[in-house]
Each structure stands twice: as C-alpha cells, then as structure tokens.
Structure 1
Amino acid sequence: MELVSVAAVADNGVIGDDGELPWPSIPADKQQYRERIATDPVILGRRTYESMRDDLPGSHQIVLSRSRQSFDTETAHHAESVEKAVDIATSFDAERAYVIGGGAIYRLFQPHVDRMVLSRVHGEYEGDTSYPEWDDNAWTLESETEYDRFTLQEWVRTDDQ
C-alpha cells in the first residue's frame, strides 16, 4: 500500500492556526485536494476528523486517537498506531491511503510515507502548526504545477527509510 501525505503548506511551513487554514480559501486547491482523496481511505487525527464532520473526505476515515475509540459515522474507524492505521487501510483493498493531518499525524507518518502531494501556498502566514521538515536527499521532486496562489508539488521518496 502506498502512503501519501497531502497538505497545503505556506512558504514558511505553516499549515494551520487554531484548527483553521491561516490563509483565505483557495477554491482550486480545495477542489484538486477533494478529487484526489475522494475514493481512497484517509488517515487523520481526531481533531482534524472533528473539524471535518460536516463534510468528511475519503471513502473511509481512519482516525488516530488516544482519547476516543469509537465514532458515530459508519465509515470512521479507530486506530491507535501507524501500524494499525495501515492495517485498516489495507483491509479495504485500496492501492493507497492518504495522510491528511493534523500536524502531529503528519510528523508521526513522515518516516512511513512514500509520496507527498503538497500545495505550496504562496506567502508566509502566522500559525501554530507546521508541516514536518524532511531530508531533501531522501526525496525527489517528481512534478510541479503552478496555479493561482499555490504550486502543486509531488515528491517521491528515493530511499528505504
């Protein structure tokens, strides 16, 4: 199973501020993000899950949480570890699962993801959550597409970390 981290990241690495995006909405980014993850399982933290309750992404939501083990949504599943989350995603016969945040989940999965799809939002923003740094030597920029207000980058891991 391929694990793909998907995030919108400002030039200074910020991805969020108090559970919200710190920049004004970018409809083209939201559309490409939603289309990308629509039919595959997504892995996310409890707070991110709760912030998306009215419009849950993905075919299944695998929620990492220490404080909550069950959810009232049929497609939501609890996982207590990276390994358990991957096992659950694999059980759906999906070719890939998307890691969609928040910050602690991105950090936890960074050593395990095979690919990163990053919307590099133009500009620097204030925020309390950042995307984890990575070793440039372990990744190759596979593609880059310019949009209004962001650049979509696809990175592929080049080593077996």
Structure 2
Amino acid sequence: MIILIWAEDETGAIGKDGHLPWRLPNDMRFFKETTTGHAIVMGRKTFQSMNERPLPNRDNYVLTRQADYKKSGVHIIQDIKDLPHERDVYVIGGSEIYKLFLPMADVLIRTKIVGDFSGDTFFPEVDWNQWQLTEEIIGQEDDRNKYAHSFQTFHRK
C-alpha cells in the first residue's frame, strides 16, 4: 500500500526555504508514531533538508535522478519499482515526490494546520472527489503546540 503523509497549512503550503514553516511537536510525534517500523520514501532534497540523516527505526529510501548519489544508512533508488512491494510504503516528501506518487496512493494522511505560514512549497493538487475522509483527530493546543490542527486520514474511493 502507498501512503502519503504530510502537514500543510490552510493554503496547502508544506515548506518554506527547505524546512517546515511551523513548529508543531504534536505533528512530529504523530508522524513518528505513524511511520516507525515502516518503509519511508523521500526525495533527495527532503533527505538533505534533514541533514542527510536517516530517520531511525524505519527503512529509508531516497529517490533521486543522481546515479552517483550515495549515503550510508539509506537505500538510494532511481526508480519507484525499486521500492519494496510486500509492505506499506510511506511517502514523506517533497512536493515533486508527492506529485509522482499521488496517482498510485491508497491512503492520504494529512495534518491540517490552521494558519497561513507564507510557504514556498505546496502539496500537489488533489481531486478530493476520489477520496473519503475515514478518520479525523483534533490535535490539542497548548504552550508547545500553538496552532489549531487536526490529523486526517483519507482512503481512495
């Protein structure tokens, strides 16, 4: 199963200057709990924005056009056919990687954050008529989580 997971603001922004434009520990915890123990795939730029460190307790795949790109602790692939087919794969970004995987995705997991963070990178356009909201959890606001947010799961109709 192909699962896309991301956080976006009300404008669909997912990044700014190569990083998340907000600080929301609840979302980081949700992401970690959801993806731990699974295969994750990201683009090279996303991997580089994480200081080229693989996320622990996950099989990290980095999709790149650069045939000579090498980093320890991750699987470097040039083709999506090289992903494991026997298990769930979580797509974690960036925008071009989401766009590539969206047509074949089975599940979308979105953290929707209330606000406009003036991002410069956006999630690709989704035809929401193809998706059904199956779960929504309202995130808790507190001193560390200052923005209203919800965790939404959609399954393809």
- Give the TM-score taking structure 1 as reference length: 0.85
Partner of 1:66: 65
Pick from 101, 116, 136 the counterpart of residue 108 of structure 2: 116
Per-residue CA deviation, residues 25-74 of structure 1 (Å, 9 max, x unaligned), is 11111001011111001010001112223462552111110125443323
Within 5 Å, give how 1:131-142 maps onto structure 2: 131-142=123-134
For 1:62 and 1:55, locate their aligned partners in 2 and report how far apart those are by CA, in whole Å. 9
For 1:15 and 1:40, locate their aligned partners in 2 and report how far apart those are by CA, in whole Å. 22
Structure 1 residue ranges (4+ consecutive) displaced by more than 6 angstroms after TM superposition:
none
Correspondence 1:50 to 2:45: no
Partner of 1:9: 8
For 1:123 and 1:31, locate their aligned partners in 2 and report how far apart those are by CA, in whole Å. 20
Q: Which amino acid aligns with 2:114?
A: H
Partner of 1:40: 38
For 1:130 and 1:12, locate their aligned partners in 2 and report how far apart those are by CA, in whole Å. 8
Q: Which amino acid aligns with 2:156?
A: R
For 2:131 and 2:71, locate their aligned partners in 1 and report how far apart those are by CA, in whole Å. 38
Structure 2, unaligned stretches of length 5 or more?
Answer: 142-147
- 8 Å Cα contact 1:69-1:78 kept in structure 2: no
Percent same amino acid among aligned pairs?
A: 32
- 8 Å Cα contact 2:6-2:109 kept in structure 1: yes
Q: How many equivalent residue pairs?
A: 149
Q: CA RMSD in A?
A: 1.6
Q: Which amino acid aligns with 2:123?
A: Y
- 8 Å Cα contact 1:9-1:119 kept in structure 2: yes
Q: Which amino acid aligns with 2:84?
A: A
